[in-house]
């Protein structure tokens, strides 16, 4: 006689065991139709699940996040169903739900976009047939036997990994049957708003030593509008692609002779220099000194640091005539340590915060390269903080506070923190790792910061914090990092003289706030869709004349703006004003300053803003005095935001 408690607190009792679907029907016909699954005492179950005892029950529909996940999961099965019908020789493997969609991996011949279209069409047909999706429970051995018998060896392998004697669930829709934990939608007719996105290779069990499978990605939603909105978001993201913007705005380029290396054009380099200048100022204020160390150093140094052992294959090396093997530095830390070793350091020198805008070189696998976001030669806003064990936690807190404040100034309000702990491949004792991991987690706890743990993901010499920021369209980017390290100090045998005149080992913090300057510049471009706020815009205003008669006045205006410290171009070409406005607007210049006879006579300027709108919603802000314009721009630049 089950008594069921619904989410609103009301209770319903039934004379006999009931299914979730029957409960939904008892509540109302609308709910019966939209029910996708049930949440029974917190556990997701199919609508066909029979409830025998008292429980808390919620009917899951497409309005719930879980409902959408079930739709995605079931759509993955529908994909496998359709593909098996079209290609019976294909073998199925796994098909999980991911952000915004799902994928399914198959062992089959390489799929083409035409295949994808055909599969999608078949999925639509199968959905329309509204096959019931039914759950069956088999013994593990029976399931292994079955999948082997139909030639599904990947599936059989997966089930064999389940402990013997356990039962497994299978789901059947039409002629298709698949191993799955479930739950699934009650019938394929619930799957309506989906689209296959792309196909690509993926390794079996995610291991590059294994064979490559065909992975089909898809997206699925509860409503057509949501699917449309998602596709629209992807289009927007494409427009923000920093590689495209870099081309359009003339910021940088890449070419075949230098894979993974940036050719910075003047305007791009302006941004790069501004980022360094900003960081330099912030670091100086935070008590750092800046240094510079060699780019090419003897292999012996990298053997001491452990990089040679761990990353030799990813290092650029060079052999000179005298047979010495040098490496282009893949990290700045050994150089920093070498500087620390110069002279005798006292506890009074600590903490010693040593910053370096060092360019590092890493031979990244060719497939990893991606615009500015993943390059082989990049500049870190690196720093090494040498301190005592007692100072380490406070120094960590200082770094965290500095990072968060800087991200905020760049317009990133949402930042997530990841704590990565000791990896399998590491140097140093467990006792040391205990101390280091505690320093990071204590620092965060003391600051009341939330963070996620990633066991085994730390660097080989120490655990690390990683700072992940969320951009304007909700994408996450990993940027800053903070690592604590007692291992390199030991390997390089560095020490300081303590107050009691004994020699002690300092702790080393490695930190980078932007991470890679190149990457951060790329992220900024995507975040702002190329429309950099005034303080970062390579060209902040363009002065343009309407006709030749005002050329001299336009030059005077440009000169005065430059004297106020603004970066200003002057366009005196004999083109129509519409043409000039279009061109400079496409270049996303924040301000266009138009001067014609009226302005020249009155000594004024007409201002058009990229971001701001007047009361009528027009970007044309009308006439103002030059002093007013300078004040406006100076204020906006100091505020670091975008104009409104």
**Residues 415-444, interacting with RNA (CB under 7 A):** none
Q: Which of 11, 21, 4, 18 is nearest to 61 (CA)?
A: 21
Question: Is residue 608 a contact point for RNA (CB under 7 A)?
Answer: yes
Residue 158 and residue 93 in contact, taking contact as beta carbons nearer than 8 Å: yes
Contacts of 69 (CB under 8 A, 6+ apart): 97
Sign of the C-alpha dihedral computed for residues 200, 205, 211 and 213 taken in this order: negative
Q: Is 586 in the site for RNA (CB under 7 A)?
A: yes
Distances (CA, A) of 390 to 396, 433, 484: 11, 16, 13
Distance of alpha carbon 324 from alpha carbon 414, whole angstroms: 48
**318 in contact with RNA (CB under 7 A):** no
Which stretch of DSSP H or E encloses residue 597?
A: helix 597-602
Among 208, 320, 342, 502, binds RNA (CB under 7 A): 208
281 catalytic, yes or no? no
Q: Distance between CA 402 and CA 443 in Å, rounded?
A: 13
CA distance 172 to 517: 52
Q: Is 476 noted as a catalytic residue in this protein? A: no
- Nearer to RNA by C-beta: 77 or 240? 240
Q: With binding defined as CB under 7 A, does residue 374 bind RNA?
A: yes
Q: Which of 89, 99, 175, 256 binds RNA (CB under 7 A)?
A: 256
**Single residue of 53, 576, 603, 638 touching RNA by CB under 7 A:** 576
110 binds RNA per the rule CB under 7 A: yes
Spatial CA neighbour of 539 closest among 576, 606, 502, 591: 591
Please report whether residue 117 would count as binding RNA according to CB under 7 A.
Answer: no
Q: Cα dihedral sign for 523, 528, 529, 531?
A: negative
Instruction: Indicate the burial class of 176 (C-beta count within 10 angstroms; 0-12, 13-18, 19 or more).
Output: buried
- Spatial separation of the C-alpha atoms in residues 426 and 310, rounded to whole Å: 9
Nearer to RNA, 265 or 270 (CB): 265
**Closest CA relative to residue 478, chosen from 446, 507, 454, 447:** 454
Please report whether residue 371 would count as binding RNA according to CB under 7 A.
yes
Binding marks (x or -) toward RNA, 326..345, rule CB under 7 A? ----xx--------------
Q: Residue 622: left if φ>0, alpha if ψ -120 to 50, beta else—which one?
A: left
Does 597 participate in binding RNA (rule CB under 7 A)? yes
Q: How far is the CB of 408 from RNA (least distance, A)?
A: 25
Cis ω for the linkage preceding 68 (within 30 of 0) = no
Binding RNA (rule: CB under 7 A), the pick from 405, 582, 613, 628 is 582
Asked if 268 touches RNA (CB under 7 A), the answer is: no
Binding region for RNA (CB under 7 A) out of 69-77, 82-90, 342-350, 367-375? 367-375
Q: According to CB under 7 A, which one of 549, 627, 635, 638 is a site residue for RNA?
A: 549
34 in helix, strand or coil?
A: helix
Q: What 3-state DSSP class applies to 198?
A: strand
Size of the site for RNA (CB under 7 A): 68
Catalytic hit among 39, 73, 81, 384: 384
Establish if 368 lies at the interface with RNA (CB under 7 A): yes
Question: Is the distance from CB of 606 to CB of 268 less than 8 angstroms?
Answer: no
For the bound state, the minimum distance from the C-beta of residue 557 to RNA, rounded and expressed in Å, comes to 12
CB nearer to RNA: pick between 446 and 582: 582
Q: Which is nearer to RNA, 70 or 213 (CB)?
A: 213
Contact region for RNA (CB under 7 A) — 146-154, 171-179, 357-365, 467-475? 357-365
Stretch that binds RNA, among 20-28, 127-135, 214-222, 632-640 (CB under 7 A): 214-222
DSSP codes joined into one string, 243-279: HHHHHHTT-EE--TTSTT--EE-HHHHHHHHHHHHHH
Told to check if 579 binds RNA by CB under 7 A, we report yes
Residue 165 binds to RNA (criterion: CB under 7 A): no
Segment contacting RNA (CB under 7 A): 44-52, 205-213, 263-271, 426-434?
205-213
Distance CA 400, CA 412 (A): 15
Residues forming beta bridges with residue 593, ordered by sequence position: 543, 607
362 binds RNA (CB under 7 A): yes
Q: Does 152 bind RNA (CB under 7 A)?
A: no
- Which of positions 34-73 make contact with RNA (CB under 7 A)? none
- Enter the tokens of residue 82: 């359709």
Give catalytic status of residue 239 as yes or no: no
Decide if residue 243 touches RNA (CB under 7 A). Answer: yes
Q: Is 577 in the site for RNA (CB under 7 A)?
A: yes
> Token pair of 520, please?
């951060």
For RNA, which stretch binds (CB under 7 A), given 53-61, 289-297, 305-313, 469-477? 305-313
- Is 108 an annotated catalytic residue? no
- Specify whether 464 is catalytic: yes
For RNA, the closer of residues 42 and 574 by Cβ is: 574
Binding residues among 466-495 for RNA as defined by CB under 7 A: 483
The residue within the footprint of RNA, chosen from 135, 314, 416, 470 (CB under 7 A), is 314
Catalytic-role residue among 333, 396, 479, 570: 333
CA pair distance 641, 245, nearest whole angstrom = 20
Ramachandran sector of residue 126 (left: φ over 0; alpha: ψ -120 to 50; beta: rest): alpha
CA 289-466-528 angle, to 5 degrees, is: 85
- Euclidean distance between CA atoms 21 and 28, whole angstroms: 11
- Catalytic annotation, pick one of 381, 382, 485, 571: 382
Cβ 361 to RNA shortest distance, Å = 8
Q: Report which of 524, 526, 544 is spatially closest to residue 536, judged by C-alpha positions.
A: 524
Cβ 242 vs Cβ 525: under 8 Å: yes
Which sequence positions are flagged as catalytic? 333, 362, 380, 382, 384, 464, 510
Contacts with RNA, residue ranges (CB under 7 A): 110, 112, 198, 200-203, 206-208, 212, 214-215, 217, 243, 247, 254, 256, 259-260, 307, 310-311, 314-315, 330-331, 362-371, 374, 459-461, 483, 510, 546-549, 574-579, 581-582, 585-586, 592, 594, 596-599, 606, 608, 619-620, 623
């Amino acid at each position: 006689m089950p008594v069921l408690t619904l989410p609103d607190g009301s209770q319903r009792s039934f004379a006999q065991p009931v299914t979730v679907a029957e409960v939904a029907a008892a509540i109302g016909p609308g709910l019966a139709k939209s029910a996708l699954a049930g949440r029974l005492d917190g556990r997701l179950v199919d609508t066909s699940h029979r409830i025998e005892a008292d429980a808390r029950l919620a009917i899951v529909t497409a309005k719930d996040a879980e409902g959408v996940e079930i739709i995605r999961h079931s759509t993955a099965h529908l994909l496998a169903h359709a593909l098996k019908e079209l290609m019976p020789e294909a073998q199925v493997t796994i098909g999980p739900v991911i952000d915004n969609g799902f994928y399914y991996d198959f062992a089959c011949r390489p799929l083409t976009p035409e295949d994808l279209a055909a599969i999608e069409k078949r999925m639509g047909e199968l959905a329309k047939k509204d096959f019931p999706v039914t759950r069956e429970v088999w013994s593990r051995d029976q399931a292994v036997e079955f999948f082997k018998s139909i030639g599904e060896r990947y599936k059989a392998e997966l089930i064999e990994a389940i402990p013997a004697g356990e039962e497994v669930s299978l789901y059947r829709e039409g002629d298709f049957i698949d191993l799955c934990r479930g739950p699934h939608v009650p019938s394929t007719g619930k799957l309506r708003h989906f689209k296959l996105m792309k196909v690509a290779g993926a390794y079996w069990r995610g291991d590059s030593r294994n064979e490559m499978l065909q992975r089909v990605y898809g997206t699925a939603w509860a409503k057509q509008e949501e699917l449309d909105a998602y596709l629209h978001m992807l289009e927007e993201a494409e427009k923000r692609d920093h590689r495209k913007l870099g081309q359009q705005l003339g910021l940088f380029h890449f070419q075949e002779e230098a894979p993974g290396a940036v050719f910075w054009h003047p305007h791009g380099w302006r941004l790069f220099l501004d980022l360094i200048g900003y960081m330099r100022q912030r670091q100086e204020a935070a008590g750092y000194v800046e240094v510079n160390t060699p780019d090419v150093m003897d292999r012996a140094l990298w053997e001491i640091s452990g990089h040679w052992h761990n990353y030799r294959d990813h290092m650029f090396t060079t052999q000179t005539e005298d047979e010495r093997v040098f490496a282009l530095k893949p990290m700045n830390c050994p150089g920093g340590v070498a500087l620390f070793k110069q002279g005798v350091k006292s506890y009074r020198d600590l903490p010693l915060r040593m910053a370096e805008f060092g360019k590092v070189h890493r031979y990244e696998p060719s497939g990893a390269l991606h615009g500015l976001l993943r390059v082989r030669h990049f500049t870190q806003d690196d720093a090494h903080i040498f301190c005592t064990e007692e100072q380490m936690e406070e120094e960590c807190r200082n770094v965290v506070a500095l990072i968060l404040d800087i991200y905020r100034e760049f317009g990133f309000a949402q930042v997530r923190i990841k704590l990565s702990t000791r990896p399998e491949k590491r140097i140093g004792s467990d006792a040391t790792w205990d101390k280091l991991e505690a320093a990071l987690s204590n620092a965060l706890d003391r600051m009341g910061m939330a963070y996620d743990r990633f066991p085994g993901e730390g660097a080989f010499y120490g655990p690390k914090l990683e700072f992940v920021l969320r951009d304007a369209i909700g994408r996450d980017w990993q940027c800053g990092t903070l690592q604590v390290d007692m291992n390199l100090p030991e390997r390089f045998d560095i020490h300081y003289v303590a107050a009691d005149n004994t020699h002690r080992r300092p702790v080393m913090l490695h930190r980078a706030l932007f991470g890679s300057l190149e990457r951060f510049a790329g992220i900024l471009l995507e975040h702002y869709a190329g429309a950099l706020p005034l303080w970062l815009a390579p060209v902040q205003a363009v002065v343009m004349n309407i006709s030749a008669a005002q050329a001299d006045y336009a030059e005077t205006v440009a000169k005065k703006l430059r004297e106020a410290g603004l970066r200003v171009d002057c366009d005196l070409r004999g083109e129509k004003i519409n043409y000039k406005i279009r061109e400079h607007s496409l270049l996303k210049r924040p301000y266009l300053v138009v001067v014609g006879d009226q302005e020249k006579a009155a000594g004024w300027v007409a201002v058009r803003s990229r971001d701001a709108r007047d009361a009528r919603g027009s970007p044309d802000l009308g006439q103002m005095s030059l002093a007013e314009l300078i004040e406006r721009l100076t204020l906006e630049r100091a505020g670091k935001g975008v104009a409104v």
